[in-house]
Amino acid sequence: MVRAAILPAVGAPLEITGIELPEPGPGRVRVRLAAAGVCHSDLSLSNGTMRVPVPAVLGHEGAGTVVSVGEGVTHVAPGDGVVLNWAPSCGSCHPCSIGEVWLCADALVGAAGIHARTADGTELHPGLNVGAFAEETVVAANCVLPLPDGIPLTDAALLGCAVLTGYGAVHHSARVRAGESVVVLGVGGVGLAVLQSARIAGASTVIAVDVSPEKEALARAAGATEYLVASGTTAKEVRGLTGGRGADVAVECVGRAATIRTAWDATRRGGRTTVVGIGGKDQQVTFNALELFHWGRTLSGCVYGNSDPAKDLPVLAEHIRAGRFDLGAMVTERIGLDGIPAAFENMLAGRGGRALVVF
């Protein structure tokens, strides 16, 4: 038995209890978690914004050590440090065949399977494939990526979602170029990764926007050159900081209609607006036909940073080893499994950066 945080039903409080994991069969890997990040997507799964089979072990951003492997697993071995990959690509569907592995049609097939059982025999699903809110997990082999040398195992958990998403939003989706201006709306875990990535890309002006004035020091440490407290005049303030034009790139990390609209309005004519935040179906964003023509902006969604983890993880590792990307600076709280509900509340209130469950 290992301890885990279970979502018994959508909208229900998390339960911390013991679960029984199977031994890894063919093509499976058992991992002892070192840490798991508390991501806004976990909150979205718990409240029904995103659907997940329940009951489930939540948590999808994690890193740990391989305990054992099943038949046919050769890329990792017991004792290896690994990063969990919640959206593995199948390699054979249409998106994978054209190189868009982040849109793999079968990426979340594993989430519908039976992952573990409670002491009374209740079957549990793995939230977003990996069930990282647990002391140990058993996952498909393509859900584990070898941890590059020189990366702290605990902080490496952030590579499993926030960092790949934020880095990819800048380098793959928005394709920020040196000298451009960037505005980032939402300074949570992903927003902090976007700020650091914009700095790495050579952005000249990096504007962070958040509802909390207390996050200014955190944002500036991550690379923000300017900080704005979100208001009804945010887009106007961004234009004032960018020569009256608006930012070359806006990255929205909140997932609310009003914030997406603000990001669009804060983007210069011909600029790029990238939406990373995951919003509900009730969050309707409207544009009129004339403004779409006039402004000539590009509006794009961004799934998992449009990243290929197998290719991007070594690049990120080099930035981390060189001191250009600071994983530890993103963590504002280190907690146990019991602290996850409070971390959810902090996210809802707009407090802090990334909370990290440390086992």
Judged on CB neighbours under 10 Å (0-12, 13-18, 19+), 341 is middle
pLDDT for position 347: 87
pLDDT for position 54: 94
CATH classification for the domain delimited by 166-303, as one of 3.30.420.340, 3.40.50.720, 3.40.630.30, 2.40.50.140: 3.40.50.720
In degrees, to the nearest 5, what angle opens at C-alpha 90 toward C-alphas 79 and 26? Answer: 45
Cα 96 from Cα 40, distance rounded (Å): 26
Helix (H) or strand (E) holding 137: strand 136-140
Q: Is 304 strand, coil or helix?
A: helix
Contacts of 211 (CB under 8 A, 6+ apart): 229, 230, 350
What average pLDDT does range 197-204 have in this prediction? 98
pLDDT for position 280: 87
Cα 157 from Cα 153, distance rounded (Å): 7
Cα 248 from Cα 268, distance rounded (Å): 6
User: Tell me: the pLDDT tens digits for 226-270?
Assistant: 999 999 999 999 999 999 999 999 999 999 999 999 999 999 999
Average pLDDT over the chain reads 96
pLDDT for position 349: 84
Cα 348 from Cα 262, distance rounded (Å): 20
Helix (H) or strand (E) holding 258: helix 257-265
pLDDT for position 85: 96
Lowest mean pLDDT among 151-160, 191-200, 345-354: 345-354
Closest CA to 162 of 126, 187, 130, 131: 187
Cα 240 from Cα 231, distance rounded (Å): 14
pLDDT value at 51 more than 90: no
Cα dihedral sign for 287, 192, 161, 91? positive
Q: Which residues pair with 15 in a beta bridge?
A: 6
- Taking the CA atoms of the chain, what radius of gyration do you get in angstroms? 20
Question: Domain map of the chain by residue range?
Answer: 2-160+327-358, 166-303
Provide the CATH number for the domain formed by 2-160+327-358 in this structure. Answer: 3.90.180.10
Quick check: bond before 55 cis, omega within 30?
yes
pLDDT value at 49 more than 90: no
φ, ψ dihedrals at 352, nearest 5°:
75, 180
Confidence of residue 352 (pLDDT cuts 50, 70, 90): confident
Identity of residue 136 = E
Cα 214 to the chain's mean position, in Å? 22
pLDDT for position 299: 97
Closest CA to 212 of 11, 18, 346, 31: 346
User: Tell me: the pLDDT tens digits for 309-331?
Assistant: 999 999 999 999 999 999 999 99
Cα 31 from Cα 80, distance rounded (Å): 9
pLDDT for position 183: 98
pLDDT value at 48 more than 90: no
pLDDT value at 222 more than 90: yes
pLDDT for position 351: 85
* Token pair in block for residue 157: 């958990």
Altogether, the residues listed in the chain come to a count of 359
User: Tell me: the pLDDT tens digits for 99-116?
Assistant: 999 999 999 999 889 999
